[in-house]
Amino acid sequence: MAGNSLGKEFVITTFGESHGKIVGVVIDGCPAGLPLQEKDFQEDLDNRIPAQPNIVSARIEKDRAKILSGTFNGFTTGAPIAITVENKEINSSDYDAIKDKPRPAHSDLPARIRFGGFNDYRGGGRFSGRVTVALILAGVIAKKLLSTIKVEILAYTKAIGNIETENPTLEDIRKNRFNSPVRCPNSTASKLMEDAIIEAKKEGDSLGGIVECITLNMPVGVGEPLFEALDADIAKAMFGVSAVKGVEFGVGFRAAELKGSENNDQYEIKKNKVSALTNNAGGILGGLTSGMPIIVRAAIKPTPSIAKQQQTVDLAKNENAPLSVKGRHDPCIVPKAVLAIEAVVAVTLVDHLMRAGFIPIVLKEH
Amino acid sequence: MAGNSLGKEFVITTFGESHGKIVGVVIDGCPAGLPLQEKDFQEDLDNRIPAQPNIVSARIEKDRAKILSGTFNGFTTGAPIAITVENKEINSSDYDAIKDKPRPAHSDLPARIRFGGFNDYRGGGRFSGRVTVALILAGVIAKKLLSTIKVEILAYTKAIGNIETENPTLEDIRKNRFNSPVRCPNSTASKLMEDAIIEAKKEGDSLGGIVECITLNMPVGVGEPLFEALDADIAKAMFGVSAVKGVEFGVGFRAAELKGSENNDQYEIKKNKVSALTNNAGGILGGLTSGMPIIVRAAIKPTPSIAKQQQTVDLAKNENAPLSVKGRHDPCIVPKAVLAIEAVVAVTLVDHLMRAGFIPIVLKEH
Amino acid sequence: MAGNSLGKEFVITTFGESHGKIVGVVIDGCPAGLPLQEKDFQEDLDNRIPAQPNIVSARIEKDRAKILSGTFNGFTTGAPIAITVENKEINSSDYDAIKDKPRPAHSDLPARIRFGGFNDYRGGGRFSGRVTVALILAGVIAKKLLSTIKVEILAYTKAIGNIETENPTLEDIRKNRFNSPVRCPNSTASKLMEDAIIEAKKEGDSLGGIVECITLNMPVGVGEPLFEALDADIAKAMFGVSAVKGVEFGVGFRAAELKGSENNDQYEIKKNKVSALTNNAGGILGGLTSGMPIIVRAAIKPTPSIAKQQQTVDLAKNENAPLSVKGRHDPCIVPKAVLAIEAVVAVTLVDHLMRAGFIPIVLKEH
Amino acid sequence: MAGNSLGKEFVITTFGESHGKIVGVVIDGCPAGLPLQEKDFQEDLDNRIPAQPNIVSARIEKDRAKILSGTFNGFTTGAPIAITVENKEINSSDYDAIKDKPRPAHSDLPARIRFGGFNDYRGGGRFSGRVTVALILAGVIAKKLLSTIKVEILAYTKAIGNIETENPTLEDIRKNRFNSPVRCPNSTASKLMEDAIIEAKKEGDSLGGIVECITLNMPVGVGEPLFEALDADIAKAMFGVSAVKGVEFGVGFRAAELKGSENNDQYEIKKNKVSALTNNAGGILGGLTSGMPIIVRAAIKPTPSIAKQQQTVDLAKNENAPLSVKGRHDPCIVPKAVLAIEAVVAVTLVDHLMRAGFIPIVLKEH
């Protein structure tokens, strides 16, 4: 299974399991000259986990990034950057009970077959949401690089269960997303989502949702069609985040129902600048950036691990068995997925921007 | 722009433009010992284009595959297989008029910027649907390889505009999809879709739709998470087909609205065989095959090139300009996209099956 | 066997066999805006084969390049460029006799095992020197790109058998290498080499030799250590040319015998310009260009196919068998290897120059 | 600089600098089910550094491997394996003096230009021989995998300066190489080499040499020509080790001087088994394994850092400057390179064996 790297010129390789010593990432191809310190990771590590314990399961002690290589005197050197975060407060006892009872909708069963039973099943092991911490680490560096050319990226919770927020303003997203326990910038929708999660939790159930990610200020023409089209690579990266079941750009699946005359984004020219009147395309045409904001959404499935009783099989006893999953599980992983989605999109953009020459291999000044 | 290859061990590289001499593909990593002749490509080349001229634009003369390398005595040799199809009946005159008027929702504008105006704009050039012929060629070989291990793949039109078919039976898909001019196995829905396309065409407009692709009989545990997860690689490949704006697996975006207890596919064991009671996951868990059929859908946008007048800009004159696209354009590209989608999924599956050891590098017998 | 591509951003994929219809190449990632016509390939195609029939076997009819895709109005478009050369005057009858008798030192036996006997054995098939024509095609484009930033590349025959030329001047190489039937710029050495080849041919034997390749004017700091160090990638590319058994840079294997004080290239500064007093390193330090000329040599083994009788085995009869190889075989392949070596080095340099940003993705003017 | 990964299905990614916190490696694609513990690395970590302080510089405290991820209950899980070794006893004070005085024959000058002066120059930083510790770690795992199919790999010192050992027996190499302070299995040659190193050290000078690596018992037909030919990938990997200036297989550069009749390895058949009478090819024909032992040699240049005075330039003062390198430097790095060379060859072989299906993705038993 050699699929733990993402990117071609800006390459991240992640490692670590839920109940192992650490999770971590190696970033290869980062330009030299980017200011980077361990404290730069703290904001995103903190924002990954909402402070409200009724919304997500939280390890009490904070995650802290440790830079192992690739920086010198406070700047990146051009050498590979290895960063780890320690796994603390691990309690693996809950998992022995379910070792032979694969959780429905989780990777337990296919992973067991793929790895001949050698996989670390504790907490989902390599398939745990915990491994997205490594994505967060890479995302911090990618976003610092994007900011050197004024590209801004903003992910937020668009929907949880059947509650969907209207399109928030950019300003709302910037200001409010991390104040919301569910990472939804609209306070009314946020409250409803929060209530829905608490309700689902009470029932021993879980909820899914939708994360939207908006990227502003991308140069035009970035992407390498056919197969390394920018939308193709963004989608691939997003499916690398646990629990993503669908990805769409702009109007997405709704495009299937529109007529050409409704879907086409017509152009106008103002002061020598061409722009589109609408952005149904979500900022990507023919696999290349169009100059409009990139709008992409991911559908996140409800957490598979639920307290409510389900039917599974006991592989040791070779019989059907009831299962009620114990232990620390989020009733909804959407809030935690927001920064992971943002991170993988940022990483993909940096990779393509470097390949197209928009981010150089040495940053002279910033 | 070095993104014209797909795959890691079974690698396809496509080339060719809409109004150039040929479109073609090189397939590298195909196992030796697969029977392969030029006539093997004819069925899919024929099925790519519905016979009904009111539904799609058709070049009158049939496409014919020419094998340039990689076979000997009727079998693949293990050497790279180059295959081309000639472009005939090209009329490039229609395009001079719109050279400086980028078509809304098409790649014209970003491609012009990306390639400094050197791109072949005739018929969309490298961004034309014509290039999917190369995918069809690769798909034929991939499907022959899949069939050696009894894996079957079936794509069909699920929706056009706001007409959606109910889930057809596998038998219906096998028997009826290519009898339908829109590649929809349900005859009632097919007729409605056909009418809708004809109506849109009359209005100088176009329609989009949804293609669903079902894969049967995949072994369990195939895929290389995190970033080369099977769903990630399938999604990436599908976004390599023109006009795809969204990809979803199983219940897809609807998973966002379900509770865990509704979405989870519970297990049962019968005669020592574990199976899931439902397939909301679409056959993929944690990026690995679950053993259930792989179900994936692509949202296809309506054809951007429409006769109806739209606003664009005249880049030479630096002013807004009306545009009514002339020339041979499909009012709906969904029927033509069916085999292209099937092809890229097949190619991705073969790549992963080879990497996991399920398809060997030499086929002894079949 | 999916190893027929070379490069990461400037990627060539070759295909074709000795006795198939064509040999060809797809070049993906070529910048847009490079002037390119079919006649641009003729000089190198002609120079590949010395005119003297006593030195090499020559097909009488000239090789002609055919561009299938990737250009428009005489310029590259940024789309993949497919180019083929037809195989003419093929006589495959000689090979039936030796189908079951693997030629010593040729790929016959391992290829037969690798490909389960499905490989095209005629003329060595995919393993023939004929496939280097595809390299020549890619090399022409690579060298045109190098010339846009004044990088010059010059390969020539350094040794044949035990005759080695002294270091020629750059001017000698430029002027005389293709006047020499053996591609050695020193006329005295050239004559001796020619005689040695004729003598070996008379004896039904063959000779090897050494090709040296010099690259001038490379920018400093190009390469991506550790594993994509420039010397690593050049060496890899050179071993992709049939019959190469060794690669060395600068003083190469002689470095093993020198002391540090003898081998180190000391620096001096003149008019603010740092340069090295010697170039024992061959222009590469720590996997990066040093600014001095890149000097690399390949050892080419003697042609395995010889008329002289050797012992092999008859795999059909399961017994030892004498073998005297008939047919069109070069008594020395070194002269034909010169441009192939030059081509793969050029391709590798362009790939790395693009990755480091020295060659842009669109050539504005040249 | 995104070149810190090696391999396609068995992929190693290294990180760390000479004077940073650690050096380390992530191994992605290792089969599940391989027994692996931290103590398994100790033998090679110890053997990397000869015990004799007059031969090499040694850090006094032993290197210890720390497994961060990828194992569970003493076996590999199929997840990426991250391993680090701490850097101890670092004294960076020696380097401030030479910050602006690039050492001849070292990467100092090109690295400074490539990385805009941001590179960690202390001890050569990312270009130090210290980073080969990461290779050793990967090599241990690769060799464990090779041993599951009885492939054995043996590197040793063939020459130091102008002292070259005759071909030792395999038994000699197995028994004696690590008893020799210079890793040469022939005790007479070993003593002469040792004396030569001591003599060079006294003079403030340094020596280079040749490492030979022999691989036994490889299956026939492994490799992916043209460009991922086994010799191409082995050579590439070897040039990833600092100070390698040449690579050759079998008779190598001597092949250039032999006639075909001398160089060709003739075949014989005995008891239905075909073998070659000689092994001038070094076990590789046409980029594929021939079934004979793989014999490859690397030329290692003398240590660039010498006490003897040399001329360099003071980049701060813009003038020529004398340089006498202080600090901990090996008078000869050949002994330390032996296991690094062995490691990268082993890694490359495992990658190709996995791709060809000879090593499965799950090891059932061993």
Which pLDDT tens digit goes with each residue over A103-140? 999 999 999 999 999 999 998 999 999 999 999 999 99
Q: What is the largest CA-CA distance in chain D?
A: 74
Question: How do residues A162-179 score in pLDDT, each as one tens digit?
Answer: 999 999 999 999 999 999
Give the chain C residue whose CA is nearest to the CA of B15: C80
pLDDT at residue number C59:
61
Buried b (16+ CB within 10 A) or exposed e, B133-161: bbbbbbbbbbbbbbebeebebbbbbbbbb
Query: C-contacting residues of B 6-35, CB under 8 Å?
Result: 7-11, 13-17, 20-24, 26, 28-29, 32-33
At how many degrees (to 10) do helices A334-355 and A132-147 cross?
50
pLDDT (tens place) for every residue of chain D, 366 residues total: 689 999 999 999 999 999 999 999 999 999 999 999 999 999 999 999 988 777 776 666 799 999 999 999 999 999 999 999 999 877 777 677 778 999 999 999 999 999 999 999 998 999 999 999 999 999 999 999 999 999 999 999 999 999 999 999 999 999 999 999 999 999 999 999 999 999 999 999 999 999 999 999 999 999 999 999 999 999 999 999 989 999 999 999 999 999 999 999 999 999 989 999 999 999 999 999 999 999 999 999 999 999 999 999 999 999 999 999 987 789 999 999 999 999 999 999 999 999 999 999 999 754
The DSSP symbol for B327 reads S
Which among A132, A261, A297 is the top mutation candidate for probing chain B, defined by the most B β-carbons within 10 Å of its own β-carbon?
A261
> Tokens 């059909």, residue?
C316
The DSSP symbol for C306 reads -
pLDDT at residue number B366:
46
Question: How do residues A43-90 score in pLDDT, each as one tens digit?
Answer: 999 999 988 777 776 666 799 999 999 999 999 999 999 999 999 877
Q: C169-175 long-range contacts, Cβ below 8 Å, gap at least 24?
A: C170/C214, C170/C216, C173/C214
Per the prediction, chain A carries an average pLDDT of 95
State how far the Cα of D9 lies from the Cα of A46, in Å rounded to an integer.
35
| B174, burial (CB in 10 Å: exposed 0-12, middle 13-18, buried 19+) | middle
State how far the Cα of B158 lies from the Cα of A234, in Å rounded to an integer.
25
The whole-angstrom distance between residue C325's C-alpha and the CA centroid of its chain comes to 25
State how far the Cα of B228 lies from the Cα of A87, in Å rounded to an integer.
25
State how far the Cα of C284 lies from the Cα of C268, in Å rounded to an integer.
17
The whole-angstrom distance between residue D24's C-alpha and the CA centroid of its chain comes to 15
Name chain D contacts of C247, Cβ cutoff 8 Å.
235, 246-248
Phi, psi of D270 (to 5 degrees): -135, 125
Cβ-Cβ contacts under 8 Å for C359 (sequence gap 6 or more):
C31, C145, C148, C149, C350, C353
Contact between residue C259 and residue D205 where contact means Cβ atoms under 8 Å apart: yes
Instruction: Give how far A348 is from chain D: nearest CA, Å.
Output: 14
Touching check for A267 and chain D: CB below 8 Å? no
Question: What residues does C110 pair with on adjacent strands?
Answer: none
Touching check for B291 and chain A: CB below 8 Å? yes
Answering whether pTM is above 0.90, one says yes
Give the one of B127, B226, B264 whose C-beta lies nearest to A304's C-beta. Answer: B264
pLDDT at residue number B93:
72
What DSSP letter does each residue of D191-212 carry, written as one string?
A: HHHHHHHHHHHHTT--B-EEEE
Contact B119 C77 (CB under 8 A): yes
pLDDT at residue number D326:
84
pLDDT at residue number B365:
55
The residue among B256, C327, B136 whose CA lies nearest residue A303 is B256
SS3 helix, strand, coil % of chain A, rounded to 5? 30, 25, 45
Angle at B326 between CA B320 and CA B329, to 5 degrees: 120
Radius of gyration of chain C (CA): 21
The tokens describing B233, both together, are: 């690689």
The residue among A145, A134, A132, A345 whose CA lies nearest residue A234 is A345
Question: How do residues A181-195 score in pLDDT, each as one tens digit?
Answer: 999 999 999 999 999
Amino acid at the residue B147: S
pLDDT at residue number A58:
60
Residue length, chain C? 366
State how far the Cα of D315 lies from the Cα of D101, in Å rounded to an integer.
6
Contact A361 C357 (CB under 8 A): yes
Touching check for D357 and chain C: CB below 8 Å? no
Buried b (16+ CB within 10 A) or exposed e, A53-72: eebbebeeeebebebbbbbb
Name chain D contacts of A90, Cβ cutoff 8 Å.
none
Buried b (16+ CB within 10 A) or exposed e, D132-168: bbbbbbbbbbbbbbbebeebebbbbbbbbbebbbeeb
Query: C-contacting residues of D 153-182, CB under 8 Å?
Result: 159-162
> Tokens 């890793």, residue?
D183
State how far the Cα of C301 lies from the Cα of C333, in Å rounded to an integer.
9
Query: D-contacting residues of C 204-243, CB under 8 Å?
Result: 205-210, 220-229, 231-233, 235-237, 239-240, 242
> Tokens 């970590």, residue?
D45
Q: pLDDT under 70 in chain B at which residues? A: 1, 57-60, 94, 365-366
Cβ-Cβ contacts under 8 Å for C202 (sequence gap 6 or more):
none
Cβ-Cβ contacts under 8 Å for D147 (sequence gap 6 or more):
none
Confidence label for A365 from pLDDT (cuts 50, 70 and 90): low
pLDDT at residue number D284:
98
The tokens describing B346, both together, are: 């097949």
The tokens describing C100, both together, are: 């079951």
Neighbours of chain D (3+ CB pairs under 8 A): A, B, C
Contact C356 A361 (CB under 8 A): yes
Contact between residue A94 and residue A327 where contact means Cβ atoms under 8 Å apart: yes
pLDDT (tens place) for every residue of chain C, 366 residues total: 689 999 999 999 999 999 999 999 999 999 999 999 999 999 999 999 988 777 776 666 799 999 999 999 999 999 999 999 999 877 777 677 778 999 999 999 999 999 999 999 998 999 999 999 999 999 999 999 999 999 999 999 999 999 999 999 999 999 999 999 999 999 999 999 999 999 999 999 999 999 999 999 999 999 999 999 999 999 999 999 989 999 999 999 999 999 999 999 999 999 989 999 999 999 999 999 999 999 999 999 999 999 999 999 999 999 999 999 987 789 999 999 999 999 999 999 999 999 999 999 999 754
State how far the Cα of C329 lies from the Cα of C59, in Å rounded to an integer.
11
Question: What residues does B321 pair with on adjacent strands?
Answer: B312
The tokens describing B354, both together, are: 């080879």
Which among C26, C77, C222, C355 is the top mutation candidate for probing chain A, defined by the most A β-carbons within 10 Å of its own β-carbon?
C355
**Whether the predicted pLDDT of A1 surpasses 80:** no
Q: What is the largest CA-CA distance in chain C?
A: 74
Phi, psi of B211 (to 5 degrees): -110, 130
The residue among D186, D133, D145 whose CA lies nearest residue D163 is D186
The tokens describing D238, both together, are: 């070897």
The residue among A132, A2, A141, A148 whose CA lies nearest residue A56 is A132
Contact between residue A118 and residue D363 where contact means Cβ atoms under 8 Å apart: no
